[in-house]
Amino acid sequence: MFYCIFFGDFLFFMMIPSDIIQQIKDRSDIFEVVNDFVSLKKKGQNYTACCPFHNEKTPSFSVSQVKGIYKCFGCGKGGDSVSFIMDIENLSYPEALRWLAKKYQIEIPDDDKPLTDEQINQFNEKESVFVIHEFAHQYFIQQLKNTDEGKTVGLSYFKERDFRDFIIDKFGLGYNPTGWNTFTKAALEAGFKEDTLIKSGLTLKTDKGALIDRFRDRVMFPIFSVAGRVIGFGGRIMTTDKKVAKYLNSPETPIYEKSKVLYGLNFAKKTIREKENCYLVEGYTDVISLHQVEILNVVSSSGTSLTIEQIRLLRRFTPLVTVLYDGDFAGIKASLRGIDLILEEGLDVKVLLFPDGEDPDSYSKKLGQVEFYEFLEKNTQDFITFKTNLFIKETINDPIKRAEGIKDIIASITKIPDVVKRELFFQLTAKLLDTKEEILISESEKIIQKEKKKAPLLEENKTQNNEETNVTNDENITEDKQKEGVFIFSREEKGEYKQEKELLHLILNYGELELIDEKPLLFFILNEIADLNFHIPLYQTMLDDMRLEAKFDRVAGKEYFLNKENEAIKNLVAELLMPKYTISESWEKKFMVFTPQEKDHVLVNVQEVILRLKIFYILRMIKENEKNLKNAETEEAQDNCLMVGLKLEAMRKEIAKGLNNAIF
């Protein structure tokens, strides 16, 4: 096993011993890992949340801390801690291992060897861009702290803003000096390639072919992913040249999509989750200043309009967003649409307005930590009340503008998906506007009907959603799709496939238990179905692996399959390990009701599933024999088919007795 790193002009790989890999997996608590990215809620023995991999408002994402797996019953994603980091951070398997090793402070021994050409070709483009960003981050810090220009220009600026040393270090602030290509030259000398620098957005290529820095003579604010990796930069110019943008951000790159990133979320997520509230501010310095006065649950959209992706990112961690506004009325009006988007996504919104001429940065410094916190607590109000008062003040002497403003407020309330909250806000707004609640609700209904007409008609019965993950009735499925776990079945065949899936469920959960003759249960199962094969390609692939490992007296269990590169297998295994429903622990604690668990009847369940599979196998043989009988051209062939039919029917009845079924 290897993972890749850059050092200068050379690309190396480092062997990760199997015992280190196992140590990483053993130490990686699935709850801790996932909870860094979504806010998990306890539900029975498991934890639930809205899935981070697809948009949903009702949680279908489940985490089992006991089994060390996650599974989304909406989009199908599933696996262990390594799989989760691979999916959420878009990393390779070795990079995900390295990420977890760093989190749990597990040292991976160095064993540097040059990569082969094949391994170099497999190296992920995104990983190379991550590496150049980390190099740039350290370079900018070094320029800020260890050069005369950095200290005189960059560090002086931060000190003027009253940023203390600990906060400068915490946010990794830096400086890129004057000169057209100071950073680019340093990166090229360190061995980084020209195309990597250009892809990273840190270097530009002029029409004449010259390479220049994107950020020149700027203090640098590194932008981090939710997991804390540097994915971009924001830079503030240090000159007074009005022709140059005051703030400059990284462009879109393989690792940075501005619409999906919130500045400071990596530092804020823990406190946001604890307080169930996130302060939303405008810029980098606002976030940093609030951290300096111990307001930690704060993020910024980096001076751009709030996007739906950013809102959904916030929804992973909190049900409430509090927007902090300065006194700029024009700026407030421009951002109201973004708040409507927050309401539409089911989040509660509160608002706080600073005095004229003040913003979070300036006012936190003016008041100090204690008074500023009290100001936040006393002056926040719900968004609908804020917006209503805002329009009352603006349109007090203009009936036409007042009518337009009321419609705008109604439109905002209509965005709220919760019917009860919507009703309460209509009552409150009617009082504030001194109008009838019925009028507001009637106008709201008009808006809803208008939106329905705009919305495209949904295709009925486009896909058949059933509990069989990775199953479809599409007759045009390619062979490659079947290998990925997409396959075809008829209604008559569904019962058999369910039994195949149930047997895999029992094997993965209990196959290692020594229940018969001190041997793993899996060996008993494989012996009983030695003459049977599964009809779903994905299931058969797993069965083949189990049979192969069993020849060497090894059990191919959950760890074996979760380490596979096949995404369809990992998703299926997570589903088979994760129960959709769990019995409330309070039954036993409060009511002394003890319900038998699946593990208490494993042998009975295994025997029943195997018998059902054999029944289905015989039924298929009976069907095939009936076809042969119809096509038989001689009396002898007909007699043979009749004899085979009698034997198959006798076998079917015998197995049916074992299932306590008179007729199956």
The SS3 assignment for 611 reads helix
Q: What is the DSSP string of 421-480?
A: HHHHHHHHHHHHHTS-HHHHHHHHHHHHHHHHHHSPPPPTTSS---SSTTB---TT--HH
Average the pLDDT over 508-515 and give the result: 85
Residue 185 reports pLDDT greater than 80: yes
Q: What mean pLDDT comes out for the span 629-652?
A: 85
Is the pLDDT reported for residue 245 higher than 90? no
Tell me which range, 14-28, 46-60, 118-132, is most confidently predicted by mean pLDDT: 46-60
Phi, psi of 656 (to 5 degrees): -60, -35
Question: In this predicted structure, what is the pLDDT of residue 253?
Answer: 92
Residue 235's nearest CA partner among 148, 146, 173, 300 is 173
Model pLDDT, residue 202: 96
Nearest to 574 by CA among 31, 88, 83: 83
Can you tell me the distance from the alpha carbon of 626 to that of 237, in angstroms, rounded to the nearest whole number? Answer: 84
Provide the pLDDT confidence category of residue 150 given band limits of 50, 70 and 90. very high
**Per-residue pLDDT for 406 more than 80?**
yes
Which one is predicted more confidently, 479 or 424? 424
Convert the pLDDT of each residue in 607-620 to its tens digit: 888 888 888 888 88
Tokens found for residue 546:
């189990």
- Split at pLDDT 50, 70, 90, the class of 449 is confident
Q: Is the pLDDT of residue 636 over 60?
A: yes
Predicted confidence (pLDDT) at residue 50 exceeds the cutoff of 60: yes
472 has a pLDDT exceeding 50:
no
Examine the pLDDT at 592 and tell me if it is beyond 80.
no
Residue 460 has pLDDT above 80, yes or no: no
Most confident by average pLDDT, 52-66, 286-300, 511-525: 286-300
Of 22-26, 304-308, 649-653, 656-660, give the lowest mean pLDDT range: 656-660
Is the CB of residue 484 less than 8 Å from the CB of residue 466?
A: no
Of residues 94 and 378, more confidently modeled: 378
Output b/e per residue, 198-214; b: 16+ Cβ within 10 A.
ebbbbbbeeeeeebebb
Residues sharing a CB contact under 8 Å with residue 386, sequence separation 6 or more, in sequence order: 351, 353
Confirm if 187 and 135 have CB atoms less than 8 A apart: yes
Token duo for residue 283: 């810029």
C-alpha 347, offset from chain centre: 18
Mean per-residue pLDDT, 530-552: 88
pLDDT exceeds 80 at position 62: yes
Mean pLDDT of the chain: 82
pLDDT tens, position by position, 20-31 = 888 888 888 999
Please determine, for residue 220, whether its predicted confidence score (pLDDT) is greater than 70: yes
Percent of the chain scoring above 90 in pLDDT: 27
HEC string for 23-73: HHHHHCCHHHHHHCCCCCEEECCEEEECCCCCCCCCCCEEEECCCCEEEEC
Q: Which residue has the higher pLDDT, 662 or 638?
A: 638
